[in-house]
Chain A
């Protein structure tokens, strides 16, 4: 079994600024900027190491602000670690904020095309899957309308349909099992479960502890940017519950 994701002793620091420094403040602090220190900062991830094997589904739980989303962004590569090393050997399909790449003035189809390519397919490959994606999204006749005319549910459904149909190899999911109405929620959940069963490597961040117990092979409890527990989902969830429910 090979590791798809390797996170080695990663630290991530965010500068804590009240706001953008004004020009006067900038001049006053110039010596500090030049020497490059003494900026107030916040460590979101503190020396975290993690491995995800091929075909594994890893669940991540933790309070708000524990560093879950930061960790996902680090693995995705949209932010860089301050220290440490991250290696990912597969194409990543993020299901973080759905529809991030959508443009309101483009039609459903045009957005599918751009997003499909952004998520790792070529134009031809997206074109081949176009009807499949449109059908899955249940957008119907509105598919050739600008997405600004869509309801928020339609928007999310379309975004989800693109992501799920791009032949994912490594899924990063940030608590999005609730897309659309009841029927679509079930459908999207089933589609995700199907992918995970088929052996698509998955990292799943959720506050839904039952989902973590059901789906994941292994779970990690993050707290304050560090790993508090890493075991079978059942045990981690138990520990987490005793800590916060007691």
Chain B
């Protein structure tokens, strides 16, 4: 094995192990373990179903499915971003004592949350059968595309946030508030057309609107919204470029602030 292959192999191994650590540690001292990743979205779906069907009696058709089809991708994003505030700060020991690619800490955070998203997909499929004909062929092409787009965009944002939080710990609290704001500024709970024309601009400038819409269109109507996918992939490239630049720049003096 030559040196390059060896290093490549080692890096994939490292990323794999860090991600595995991310996933397993969360459930390490629980009885059900990784099963929680599957159980969580199921229980969430049941709770929401009861809330919307029994208590709130929302008039919209298939509202639970409508909500969940956007909520699961959103959760992957928001949990990654929230966790990324600690990706560097909580790993001071590793960063200061061992030399390894630091961005792996951010990558493994996003990958760890991605696992939860994967576990939520069976529920989406279940709902899809319950309310319609089940997943179509379009899912096979579009799910990987959307996953890649969302992964790239999330990585970019998480790179920035994890690094900035090392310099400016207030970031953690700012992120908490901004995530909530963003949740309500993205058509997750409500459909885009429910928003008055005058305010749609604010949703239109939010890149997440397009990504979430693309997910929902796919899950609910087996429709590939190429327009939204195009805009999302464009913005994800911008985010990841920004992320790499900020991470590299500020990373040079990381040791002084940790």
Binding site for B on A (CB under 8 A): 14-15, 20, 23, 73, 76-80, 92, 94, 96-97, 100-101, 103, 105-106, 110, 113-114, 117-123, 146
A99 to chain B, nearest CB (A): 9
Chain B nearest CB: distance from A89 CB in Å? 12
Report the separation of the CA atoms of residues A120 and B228 in the bound assembly, to the nearest whole angstrom.
43
- B13, B169, B255: the one contacting A80 at CB < 8 Å is B255
Determine if B14 is an interface residue (Cβ-Cβ < 8 Å). Answer: yes
What are 12 A-B interface contacts by the 8 Å CB criterion? A77-B99, A78-B95, A78-B99, A94-B99, A100-B94, A100-B97, A101-B94, A101-B98, A103-B21, A106-B21, A121-B10, A122-B6
From B29, B93, B252, A100 is in contact (CB under 8 Å) with B93
CB–CB B255/A78 < 8 A? yes
- Name B's interface SS: helix
In the complex, the 5 A-B pairs of residues with the closest C-beta atoms, listed nearest first:
A100-B97, A79-B255, A123-B13, A77-B99, A100-B93
| A residues less than 8 Å from B97 (CB atoms) | 78, 94, 96-97, 100-101
Decide yes or no whether B17 CB sits under 8 A from chain A: yes
Complex Cα distance A101/B100, Å? 11
What separation, in Å, do the CA atoms of A110 and B23 have in the docked complex?
14
Contact residues in A for B61 (Cβ distance below 8 Å): none
Q: Known: A79-B255, A80-B253, A113-B17. Is A118-B29 also a contact (CB below 8 A)?
A: no
A103 engages B25 (CB within 8 Å): yes
**Which residues between 154 and 172 of chain B lie within 8 Å of chain A, taking CB atoms?**
169-170
Q: Are A120 and B25 in contact (CB under 8 A)?
A: no
Let me know if B57 is at the binding interface, CB within 8 A: no
Q: Is the CB of A118 within 8 A of B13?
A: no
Chain A residue nearest in CB terms to B94: A101
| Given contact pairs A78-B96, A101-B93, A117 touches B21 in the complex (Cβ within 8 A) | no
Of A79, A106, A123, which is within 8 A of B25 by CB?
Answer: A106
- Contact status B28-A105, CB under 8 Å: yes
Most buried by A among B21, B28, B94, B99: B99
Q: Which residues of A have CB within 8 Å of B170? A: 23
Q: Mark B225-258, 1 if CB is under 8 A from A, else 0.
A: 0000000000000000000000000001101100
A114 to B10, CA, bound (A): 11
Q: B252's closest neighbor in chain A, by CB? A: A80
Q: Say whether B98 contacts A20, CB under 8 Å.
A: no
Bound: A23/B171 CA distance, A:
13
The answer to whether B99 and A117 have CB atoms under 8 Å apart is no
C-alpha spacing A57/B181, complex, angstroms: 58
Q: Are A120 and B255 in contact (CB under 8 A)?
A: no
Contact pattern, B 97-114, Cβ under 8 Å of A = 1, otherwise 0: 111100000000000000
How does the 8 Å CB contact mask read for B7-38 relative to A, with 1 for contact and 0 for none? 00110011011100100010011000000000
Let me know if A122 and B256 touch, CB within 8 A. no
Inter-subunit contact B98/A119 (CB<8 Å): yes
B256, A14: Cβ atoms under 8 Å?
yes
Complex CA–CA separation, A94 to B94 (angstroms): 12
Which of A94, A96, A117 is within 8 Å of B13, CB to CB? A117
- Report the Cα distance A122→B252, complex, angstroms: 27
* CB-nearest residue of chain B to A102: B93
Given A80-B255, A103-B25, decide whether A123 and B99 contact each other with a Cβ distance below 8 A: no
Whole-angstrom distance between the alpha carbons of A92 and B97 in the complex?
11
